[in-house]
Amino acid sequence: MTDIASLRPGDPESIGGYALTGRIGEGGQGSVYLGTTPSGERVAIKVLRRGLVPPAPGSVASAAPERFQRETEILRRVAPFCTAQVVESGTAAGRPYIVSEYIEGPTLQQSVERDGPLRDARLRRLAVGTMTALTAIHRAGIVHRDFKPSNVLLGRDGPRVIDFGIARALDVSATGSGAIGTPPYMAPEQLDGAPVEPPADLFSWGSTMVFAATGRPPFGMDSLPAVINRILHRDPDLGDLEGDLRDLIAECLAKNPAVRPAARDVLLRLLGAQGRPSGGGDLLSAGTAAASDTPQRATALPVGAPPPGGVYAAPGGPVSTDPGTAVFPTQPDVAAGSRRGLWIGAGVALALVSAALAYIFIPRDVTGPVARPTPSAPSASPVREVTAAPPTPAAESRLPETKTTVYENPDDPVRLTSFMYLGSNESKSYARDTKGEFESTGPYQEPLVSPDGTWMAILPWLKDSIPQPYDQVRLVERSTGREFAVRLTDKPLQNFVPYWSSDGRRLLLTTYEVSPTNQRTSVGFVIVDRDTATSKAVSAPTPGAQANPFMWAPGETSVAQRYLDGNKPGIRIYDLTGKALRTIANVGNPIDYESMFSPAGKFFVTLCPSGYAIACIWDTTTGRRVTTVPVPVKRRVVGWYNDAHLIVTDLSNSPARVTITNLKGKQVRLLAEIPKSEIDGNPYRLIPHYGPNPNN
């Protein structure tokens, strides 16, 4: 039973229309009360201390309550199983509060301290229930950041996780300056000041499971400096844990977040899956199931990292990883929809970018000090239903000042959001407003909309036009029109090919050295943090990469780049410090400018190493070929329409036909027609960008 204390003198009698009947507990963030709704249902109300929600940078204090309510709104999207569902949030007398489902039962902390550690089936049920909760939390685009025994309630119907996402709502920096957490259960990256992403929750879960099994956390509970030192530098003490659960918890307690398994991988293994799952589902069972035109729903399971040091046989060459590393660390659905444009022919790019409908921002000069953008909660990345037969027919429309025709249907998962002309003497850029109309965003500027549609990155195309001694990108906030100029690399280095992360909080660009004859050679990449308006330049060894760009790898804790070994193209994976982690050799030519990875991250596509008019679909985890897809001889494989279809450009005629093609090679529907003059760059080169369809 949960111990309910009486209200204290000075405690409010009601909060936000809820009558308070008792006090459940108190912590560093505030007090938790038992409340009742007008209909008599019981709820838990967490009232935060004054000052915990500061105004956003550049805003006034009066905006803080509204911002807090916006930040906590996303918490209501978490599936309610195995979590205490958030009902609403607000402020009362200047103090923010969060109302959630009331779960009767002790915390895991209280239970272990009172009755001792959990064993056997009870421990396994706890592990499954809490990992189910973390999977749901991550699937909603939220990182818990404070998973610990006191945030696990042992209800009558099983364990429930509480207080998820509070750190984000409190506007605490996710980069470590002001980290929230309880030291014995914090991940090394939380202590080191590194970005706090879903892998941090896996570390905290592992520590919590050790506490549940042994009665103590794996790195001790003595002095704070000693605990922190052990977390950063020592192996965990797993006590008498044994079997597969011990192995799984040990993997979650890896110091390097890149080698920890994803939440859904852990859940599947707890439920009996053997080894590291490769993504699950039968989307492409027997190599061709998804190629049919029968409607299907994507399972979109995450991509599990292969065993360190493994070597995998792939047609044409081995797939290897460096000892002690793993690749493609992913979280559920994070990779879904993270897309970027590809040049079609000499200069046309047709991209699937994970963005909401593009909105219009008129470029203007940035004057005065650069303000910092308001941090916001990461947007959820729901799994789209994969329709194997895209709807027909589609409405025909013409892009402004072009002869390019696009064909759109209200049920399409994507639609055109912006595009740019690059001509010999002029340039025009356009983006779609909220009514679906295209308006100009300025010459020689490449606009790229964030996945949630609230931000736009504007990248100057002519670097000599930038008066500063460094390259830069401008970030524009849709709701206010504010602009933030972010410094990239010092000249003469130049940065191109931007990719938003799926949560819209980071922007990845490739850094190039440019020769006097305008030949580009990639030398690294830059990651822009939208919330702080700062960037981090990373040098990376890129043998054989030439001008190929970096793109987000599934999970977005690593990046991928095409390379050439002799005449054998492959893929090289790097962590975010520029360390090479893995190569997948001799898989053929990957896509250069569009993301080669499928929306759920399970597969990637290349032009097969053998076969001139064949595309290969590969398993991201194992590097094994799954199936082949016939494509036109004069073609460009642009990317993925959804997990069951590719976008392919047939260049054999004029206008070139951009089609949605299933994985049997059947052209299901026309997506665009581009005249040869606009493909060849005479007089223009056209770079269109696609994003999620807001009407779908």
What local confidence, expressed as pLDDT, does residue 574 receive?
Answer: 95
Q: Judge whether residue 309 has pLDDT over 80.
A: no
What is the C-alpha separation between 666 and 75, in angstroms, rounded?
Answer: 42
Comparison of pLDDT for 11 and 590, the residue scoring more? 11
What is the C-alpha separation between 7 and 411, in angstroms, rounded?
Answer: 54
What is the C-alpha separation between 198 and 342, in angstroms, rounded?
Answer: 29
Q: Judge whether residue 172 has pLDDT over 50.
A: no
What local confidence, expressed as pLDDT, does residue 390 receive?
Answer: 53
Rounded to an integer, the average pLDDT of 173-193 is 67
Rounded to an integer, the average pLDDT of 86-90 is 83
What local confidence, expressed as pLDDT, does residue 695 receive?
Answer: 61
Q: Is the dihedral of CA 253, 255, 259, 263 positive or negative?
A: positive
Burial of 22 (0-12, 13-18, 19+ CB in 10 A): middle
Which of the residue ranges 280-294, 503-517, 640-654 would you say has the lowest mean pLDDT? Answer: 280-294
Here the tokens at position 165 are 């996402």
The CA distances from residue 302 to 130, 135, 560, 692, in Å, are 18, 10, 17, 21
Here the tokens at position 299 are 């399972």
Calculate the CA 307 to chain-centre distance: 23
Active-site residues, by number, are: 146
How do residues 17-26 score in pLDDT, each as one tens digit?
899 999 988 7
Q: Judge whether residue 303 has pLDDT over 70.
A: no
Rounded to an integer, the average pLDDT of 175-200 is 75
- Return the closest-CA partner of residue 303 out of 272, 278, 337, 280: 278
Q: Which long-range contacts (CB under 8 A, 24 or more apart) does 564-571 make?
A: 568/316, 568/317, 568/609, 569/606, 569/609, 570/317, 571/596, 571/604
Q: Please provide the average confidence, as pLDDT, over all residues in the chain.
A: 75
Angle at 259 between CA 501 and CA 590, to 5 degrees: 50
Q: Is the dihedral of CA 190, 196, 199, 200 positive or negative?
A: positive
How do residues 94-130 score in pLDDT, each as one tens digit?
788 889 888 888 999 999 999 999 999 999 999 999 9
Rounded to an integer, the average pLDDT of 297-307 is 29
Q: Where residue 694 falls among pLDDT bands split at 50, 70, 90?
A: low
How do residues 59-68 score in pLDDT, each as one tens digit?
434 445 555 6
The CA distances from residue 296 to 290, 642, 648, 668, in Å, are 8, 11, 21, 15
Do 591 and 342 touch, CB atoms closer than 8 A? yes
What is the C-alpha separation between 388 and 391, in angstroms, rounded?
Answer: 9
Q: Judge whether residue 202 has pLDDT over 70.
A: yes
Q: Judge whether residue 629 has pLDDT over 70.
A: yes
Which residues have a Cβ under 8 Å from the Cβ of 152 and sit 6 or more positions away? Answer: 107, 108, 109, 126, 130, 159, 160, 161, 162, 208
Rounded to an integer, the average pLDDT of 566-573 is 88
Here the tokens at position 8 are 């204290």
> For the CA atoms of 170, 176, 182, 188, what is the dihedral angle to 10 degrees?
150
> Taking the domains of the chain in order of start, what are their residue ranges?
14-270, 311-358+373-378+390-692
What local confidence, expressed as pLDDT, does residue 680 receive?
Answer: 60
Range 311-358+373-378+390-692 classified under CATH 2.60.40.10? no
What is the C-alpha separation between 184 and 221, in angstroms, rounded?
Answer: 6
CATH number of 14-270: 1.10.510.10
What local confidence, expressed as pLDDT, does residue 507 receive?
Answer: 96
Q: Judge whether residue 540 has pLDDT over 80.
A: yes
Q: Where residue 437 falls among pLDDT bands split at 50, 70, 90?
A: confident
What is the C-alpha separation between 546 and 519, in angstroms, rounded?
Answer: 9
At how many degrees (to 10) do helices 243-252 and 198-214 cross? Answer: 140
DSSP class of residue 276 equals S
How do residues 44-63 score in pLDDT, each as one tens digit?
998 876 655 444 444 434 44
What local confidence, expressed as pLDDT, does residue 577 receive?
Answer: 95
Do 355 and 451 touch, CB atoms closer than 8 A? yes
Q: Judge whether residue 561 has pLDDT over 90.
A: yes
What local confidence, expressed as pLDDT, does residue 357 receive?
Answer: 20
What local confidence, expressed as pLDDT, does residue 81 receive?
Answer: 67
Burial of 400 (0-12, 13-18, 19+ CB in 10 A): middle
What local confidence, expressed as pLDDT, does residue 70 receive?
Answer: 57
> For the CA atoms of 599, 603, 605, 610, what is the dihedral angle to 10 degrees?
-170
Q: Where residue 360 falls among pLDDT bands split at 50, 70, 90?
A: very low
Cis peptide before 492 (omega within 30 of 0): yes
What is the C-alpha separation between 41 and 474, in angstroms, rounded?
Answer: 49
What local confidence, expressed as pLDDT, does residue 293 receive?
Answer: 32
Do 19 and 3 touch, CB atoms closer than 8 A? no
Quick check: pTM over 0.95? no
What local confidence, expressed as pLDDT, does residue 263 receive?
Answer: 94
What local confidence, expressed as pLDDT, does residue 153 receive?
Answer: 92
Which residues have a Cβ under 8 Å from the Cβ of 374 and sit 6 or more positions away? Answer: 56, 57, 58, 59, 67, 477, 531
Q: Where residue 89 falls among pLDDT bands split at 50, 70, 90?
A: confident
Do 262 and 332 touch, CB atoms closer than 8 A? yes
Domains 14-270 and 311-358+373-378+390-692 share a fold: no
Comparison of pLDDT for 25 and 261, the residue scoring more? 261
Comparison of pLDDT for 106 and 369, the residue scoring more? 106
Rounded to an integer, the average pLDDT of 337-348 is 32
What is the C-alpha separation between 40 and 65, in angstroms, rounded?
Answer: 27
Rounded to an integer, the average pLDDT of 660-670 is 90
| % of residues, the chain, pLDDT over 70 | 72
Rounded to an integer, the average pLDDT of 664-688 is 76
What is the C-alpha separation between 368 and 661, in angstroms, rounded?
Answer: 50
What local confidence, expressed as pLDDT, does residue 51 receive?
Answer: 52
Rounded to an integer, the average pLDDT of 338-345 is 33
Q: Per mean pLDDT, which of 219-228, 244-253, 604-613 is the most reliable?
A: 244-253
What local confidence, expressed as pLDDT, does residue 291 receive?
Answer: 31
Rounded to an integer, the average pLDDT of 457-485 is 87
What is the C-alpha separation between 122 and 213, in angstroms, rounded?
Answer: 10
Q: Judge whether residue 364 has pLDDT over 50.
A: no
